[in-house]
Amino acid sequence: MDNILTQQEAALRSGQISDVHYSLQLKLEKGSQEYEGDSTVRFLYTGGKKGKLKVDFVSHKIEILWLNGKEETKYEKKDSFLLIPGEILEEGKNELRIKYKNLFDHSGSGFHKFTDPADKAEYMHTDFEPFEAHRLFPSFDQPDLKATYDLQVTGPSEWTFIHNTVPQTEEVQGNYKNIKFHRTKKFSTYLFSLIVGPYAVWEDKAGDIPLRILCRKSLSKYMDAENLFAITKEAFGFLQNYFGVPYPYGKYDQIFVPEFNMGAMENVGAVTFSESYIFRGPRIYSEYLNRANTVYHEMVHMWFGNLVTMKWWNDLWLNESFADYLSYYSMSNGKLFPDALEHFYVREEWAYREDQLSTTHPIAGKAENTLEAISNFDGISYSKGASVLRQLMYYVGEEKFRDAMRLYFKRHAEKNTVLNDFLSCMSETSGVDIRGWSKEWLETTGVNTLSPVRQNGRLFLSQSPSENNGLLRTHALQATLFQEEGGKLKEVWRKRVLVKGKETLLEESDKGQADLLLLNTEDYAYAKTYLGKEALPILKRSLHTLQDRFARRVVWGSLWQMVRDAELSPREFLELALDQGLKEPDLSVRNSHILTKALTVIDNYIPESEKRNWSDRMNAIAKEKSLLANNPEQEQILWFRILENTSKSEAQLTYLKELLDEKKAIPGIPIDQERRWTILARLSAYGDTESDARIEKEIAKDNTDLGAKKAFLARVSFPDAKRKKDVWDRFLHPQKEDSTDFLRYGMRGFQWGHQKQLLLPYVDLFFDSVISVYESRDPHFSSAFGHMMFPSYEPDTKLYNRTREFLDQKKTLPELLRKDLQQQRDDIARTLRVLEKYNK
């Protein structure tokens, strides 16, 4: 039976249950794959002794169950829950106690256990969103049954134990210690945390708030705790003041945990992060900013999500949209990353992409069950919701927007909310009835496109609807006119524009000179923007002379949307990128908007016959630029990545091998462990006969878990039919020690575009296997398989038709699979449209 909870079941249960408290006792042993639990749930029951009460619980073995002090056997045990007959419950107070044994998880979720190959140390962490807390303890695992928790843990004395609160008592007896933690404040089950292991620890304070950063010992040499503490303190300094509510949870731990499925998780007072944020070498600025943004994002959740929580997962945006936007907004008000909102503009591309797919949904979406809730952790709930909040802030004003947040927390602290609760607070403080705005923005789908139009000597802004509906919205934005003077683009005017309907007048007397009208400068609106046809010749001459960096970002962002919409030839984009793009002075603009996009265009939007030519041009540029001795370090990192990514010919691969063997060198680029693995994977993928021996030699030097995973990726990359078949079978039937994270690395190495002939059999195998994968495996593994193993090495009409027919014929597909395949189908359709444009 599926491990899911429906919204209907949750609503029924929250009508029967209240005043919940959990007492947990856990015993953990070294080297064991199971642990012991003794958990008590106290609650008020008002269900009239009718029907059955569902208690969520995935258990290996229930040893004894007591109800109200008496041993009880009249219950049904299912794979993921217990059913307790209503007639044996008391009206009013009840106490359910269960003594049990359970197995650790290896999927990254639940109570995940990991053994570090570098020193054999064991690490455990919980990850419970949206519906996994019942893997650790019996619970009413839904967001609106908030509870308090008492936790007591016994385990090896050398381990550190981290919970949502600090220890109350700690006793050591021989090789074991027993820790009793302070009772928690009231919060939802998915925010409960327990992190265990011999962690390295750094300590600091933000005012009166104790701070800790923790990571496993074998990675401690890479941890830049001072930098992370500085970000954390700046975030606390801004957010407590901005929200008008002091941090509610006493202490703040940030723990970097192995094999984490997401970027981070906002457990109350004990945030867990992916170890991908532990940088083992220098990175480029945008990567430091993105990590800082994750720190801010999780802290915003302490208020939005933890203090005030959505009632059910259909209002996930009340958590994620706010955390997504306010993290960038808060950073922009600090000193460390004041340009954060420019990087928010980069992130919005996620929203634009997903909002144009057939799987799009309203920001205030629906989630009939917890499995559907997982599929809503997407670019709509995060990035589109965030962008729309930015628009709302611009519309009502920053102070009124802030005051609405303060009212929301004051009114709903430790409670659960729905859409109308937010709208009421915003309407009260802004003096504007926000319900109309909500209907237009939060309860609809699709993205509008805004374009400049010249007509009869006048300048207009034209609005068109999305493909899926005919909706024209109201947008508040900035429009800026630049004029070419003496070979340079100068700003003529910048104005706030309210867009309504199909056409909005911008300028009564348009002289039609050589100028560039840029829509949505500073990115206040959620809309795709196009450039006028007359803009392209100007950009080819003078784009690099535009002084305003954010404006340059918006130009490149508009060009990118036009390529994806088949409004601009990919060839023209590439020519512009390899001319004006190379003159772009800001490295993060050049990376995110120009060179990365150029690589995407080469991989996806030009015919196979021309890919090598463009790739070779990029490779030659990267090699030439990387050999300039006076380049800053971050620029060198960027050129090396492009050089590696575009190395395909024998000569290009030989150069990589010479770098690996230190026969050649690039100034300022040591071929460190991460770069060695990257080069080895590429050499293996192109069939280098020495690659297996090199991989063995490398793994002997790098005995870390990451070394093992990257070695697996490199081996899987080799173009050998038997090897591909063996690893395919391993994906479908994993070995006992295979974690989801380990298998994901293998999936990354499986498909290479140039191996198409070798991979053709896996088209049929994918469609034959994928349903059983989604039916039998956890959502994190299933989605990785569905995305990475889909045969997308060269999208063509045949694959499009195969995917479409599969979706049409299979009426009862798992919902998550249906969504993933619909997105693959839509992406192929878009690619085919762009290719058709290219060939004209």
Structure tokens at 165: 């609160």
Looking at the domain assignment, is residue 93 inside a domain? yes
| Angstrom distance (rounded) from CA 361 to CA 442 | 10
Burial of 689 (0-12, 13-18, 19+ CB in 10 A): exposed
Same-domain check for residues 34 and 134: yes
Domain assignment of residue 687, yes or no: no
**Percent of the chain whose pLDDT exceeds 70:** 99
Contact 521, 480 (CB under 8 A): yes
User: Which residues are within 8 A (CB) of 130 and not within 5 positions of it... i.e. 6 or more apart?
Assistant: 190, 313, 370, 373, 374
pLDDT confidence band for 433 (50 / 70 / 90)? confident
Could you read off the pLDDT of 242-301 as tens digits, one per residue?
Answer: 999 999 999 999 999 999 999 999 999 999 999 999 999 999 999 999 999 999 999 999
Distance CA(722)–CA(731), nearest Å, equals: 14
270: in domain:
yes
CA gap 791, 751 in Å, rounded: 8
> Residue 509 pLDDT more than 90?
no
Q: What is the pLDDT of residue 1?
A: 47
Instruction: State the CATH number of the domain containing residue 330.
Output: 1.10.390.10
Give percent of the chain above pLDDT 90: 92
Structural domain includes residue 350: yes
CB neighbours of 185 closer than 8 A, spacing ≥ 6?
Answer: 148, 248, 249, 268, 414
Using the predicted structure, report yes or no on whether residue 839 has a pLDDT greater than 80: no
Could you tell me if 165 and 290 lie in one domain? yes
**Residues 449-475 pLDDT 10s:** 999 998 888 889 999 999 888 899 999
Q: Under a CB-based contact definition with an 8 Å cutoff, are residues 588 and 286 in contact? A: yes
HEC string for 118-130: CCCCEEEEEECCC
Residue 221 included in any domain: yes
Task: Give, in degrees to the nearest 5, the angle at Cα 749 between 745 and 754.
Answer: 165
pLDDT range class, residue 737, cuts 50, 70, 90:
confident
> Is the domain of 748 the same as that of 775?
yes
CB-CB neighbours of 443 under 10 Å: 13
Residues 188 and 274 placed together within one structural domain of the fold: yes
Last residue of a domain, one of 280, 300, 320: 300
Question: Which tokens belong to 198?
Answer: 């011999």
Say whether pLDDT at 840 is over 70: no
How confident is the model over 534-560, as a mean pLDDT? Answer: 96
Q: Is the dihedral of CA 396, 402, 403, 404 positive or negative?
A: positive
Q: How far apart are CA 632 and CA 7, in angstroms?
A: 54
In a domain, 822, yes or no: yes
The pLDDT of 720-749, averaged and rounded, is 95
pTM of the model as a whole? 0.96
What values do phi and psi take at 35, rounded to 5?
Answer: -140, 165
Long-range contacts of the stretch 14-17 (C-beta < 8 A, 24+): 14/142, 14/144, 14/145, 15/46, 15/47, 16/45, 16/46, 16/47, 16/53, 17/43, 17/44, 17/45, 17/46, 17/47, 17/53, 17/140, 17/145
Residue 161: which H helix or E strand, with range?
Answer: strand 160-163
Name the amino acid, one letter, at 46.
T
For residue 807, give its domain range. Answer: 719-839
- Can you tell me the distance from the alpha carbon of 475 to that of 24, in angstroms, rounded to the nearest whole number? 51
- 204 within some domain: yes
Q: Hey, what amino acid is at 719? A: P
- Tokens 């206040």: give the residue: 524
> Residue 118, Cβ neighbours under 10 Å: how many?
16
- CATH number, domain with residue 269: 2.60.40.1730
Looking at residue 559, what is its pLDDT?
98
Q: Quick one: CA torsion of 755, 758, 759, 763, rounded to 10 degrees?
A: 140
285-303 and 340-355 helices, crossing angle to 10°? 80
Average pLDDT over residues 756-772: 95
- From residue 574, how far is each of 164, 315, 543, 608, 814 by CA, in Å? 51, 41, 14, 15, 40
Total residues belonging to the chain: 840
pLDDT at 394 over 90: yes
Catalytic residue among 132, 266, 298, 372: 298
Residue pair 547/480 in contact (Cβ under 8 Å)? The answer is no
- Bridge partners (DSSP) of residue 112 are 105, 125
Does residue 138 contact residue 42 with C-beta atoms inside 8 Å?
A: no
- Average confidence (pLDDT) over 551-577: 96
- Of the residues 265, 300, 335, which one is the last residue of a structural domain? 300
Q: Are residue 153 and residue 16 in the same domain, yes or no?
A: yes
| Same domain (yes/no): 132, 272 | yes
- Asked whether residue 553 carries a pLDDT value surpassing 70, the answer given is yes
Instruction: Report phi then psi at 552, rounded to 5.
Output: -65, -40
271 and 320 in one domain? no
pLDDT tens-digit series, residues 92-104: 999 999 999 999 9
Averaged over 777-804, what is the pLDDT? 91
> Average pLDDT over the chain, rounded to whole?
95
Question: pLDDT category, 428, cuts 50, 70, 90?
Answer: very high
Give how far Cα 773 sits from Cα of 207, 442, 809, 816, Å. Answer: 49, 34, 18, 11
Of 421, 442, 463, the one marking the end of a domain is 442
Task: Tell me how far apart the alpha carbons of residues 788 and 797 are, in angstroms, rounded to a whole number.
Answer: 20
Q: Are residues 203 and 89 in the same domain?
A: yes
Q: Are 321 and 381 in contact (CB under 8 A)?
A: yes
Q: State residue 611 phi and psi, 5-degree precision.
A: -60, -45
- Would you say 114 and 258 are in contact if contact means Cβ atoms under 8 Å apart? yes
Say if residue 281 is in the same domain as residue 344: no
- CB within 8 A of 595, min separation 6: which ones? 577, 581, 618, 638, 642
Please determine, for residue 423, whether its predicted confidence score (pLDDT) is greater than 60: yes
Mean pLDDT of 370-392: 94
Among 89-98, 221-230, 294-303, 776-785, name the one with the lowest average pLDDT. 776-785
Pair (324, 395) in one structural domain: yes
Same domain, 401 and 274: no
Q: Please tell me the predicted confidence (pLDDT) of residue 203.
A: 98
Which token pair is 525? 């609106």
CA pair distance 142, 162, nearest whole angstrom: 23
Q: What is the pLDDT of residues 107-142, one digit of tens each?
A: 899 999 999 999 999 999 999 999 999 999 999 999
Q: Could you count the other beta carbons within 10 Å of the beta carbon of residue 504?
A: 18
Number of domains within the chain: 3
pLDDT at 455: 84
Among residues 561, 636, 639, the alpha carbon closest in space to that of 596 is found at 639
- Does 465 fall in a domain? no
Largest Cα–Cα distance of the chain, in whole Å? 90
Closest residue by Cα to residue 291 from 369, 381, 353, 223: 223
Residue 529 · residue 478 · CB < 8 Å: no
449 with 527: CB under 8 angstroms? yes
Alpha-carbon dihedral sign for residues 567, 569, 570, 574: negative
Share in percent of the chain as helix, strand, coil (round to 5):
45, 25, 30
Q: Is the pLDDT confidence value at 570 over 80?
A: yes
Q: What is the pLDDT of residue 593?
A: 96
Active site residue 29: no
433: buried, middle or exposed (CB in 10 Å: 19+, 13-18, 0-12)?
A: exposed
Contact in structure between 786 and 817 (CB atoms under 8 Å): yes
Residues 201 and 257 in one domain: yes
Phi, psi of 393 (to 5 degrees): -60, -40
pLDDT band at 442 (very low <50, low <70, confident <90, very high): very high
